[in-house]
Amino acid sequence: MTNQRLDIDSDQLGQDLVALVLTVVELLRQLMERQAIRRIDQGDLTDGQVDEIGTTLMLLDQRMAELCEQHGVRPEDLNLDLGPLGTLLPRD
């Protein structure tokens, strides 16, 4: 049995981990946005609730952009290739 050494670039590993975490956060943000739009379309929310949801979603979008910039990740790079299933995040 031979000893094999695995060379790991810790900076790249850290950057990849940040991208993974931000991808999962972006997935959750998109799911929340879709659910909010469904509820708005159903008409079961008050005007105040619709305004609050809109404001919250705008702030979430801004914060995601800030986090991406802070960590040097481009928002368009947030995704996971799931092989034959395609990508995790749909492209609009």
The pTM score is: 0.76
Q: Could you report the per-residue pLDDT of 34-65, keeping only the tens digit for each? A: 999 999 999 989 999 999 999 999 999 999 99
The chain-wide mean pLDDT, for the chain, equals 87
- What percentage of the chain has pLDDT greater than the value 90? 53
What residues contact residue 22 under an 8 Å CB cut-off, 6+ apart? 64, 67, 68, 71, 73, 78
Domain boundaries, the chain: 14-72
pLDDT score, position 92: 57
- Residue 89 CA to residue 32 CA, distance in Å, equals 13
